[in-house]
Amino acid sequence: MFGNILFKSKEERLCQKYSSLMNRAYQAALTNKDRSDELNARAKEVLEELRSLNYKGLDSCS
C-alpha cells in the first residue's frame, strides 16, 4: 500500500500534489470562488517549486 509512495521522487510527489490541488480548485470553483482561489494559490506555489527544481516532466503534471 505504501510502497508506491516511498519510491517516488520529490519532483513526482510535487507533480502529483500540483495535479490534485488544481483538480480540487476546479471542483471548488463550481460552488466557492474564495476556496478555489486559495487552492489555486497553493498550486501556484507548488508549480514554482517544481520550476526551481528544473523538473523535466512539468508538462505531464497537468
**What is the average pLDDT across 37-62?**
88
| pTM listed for this prediction | 0.82
Helix (H, G, I), strand (E, B) or coil at 2: coil
For the stretch 1-34, pLDDT in tens is 455 556 788 888 999 999 999 999 999 999 999 9
Question: Per-residue pLDDT for 61 more than 80?
Answer: no
Q: What distance lies between CA 42 and its chain's CA centroid?
A: 8
Q: Which three cell numbers stand for residue 5?
A: 509512495
Domain residue spans of the chain: 9-61
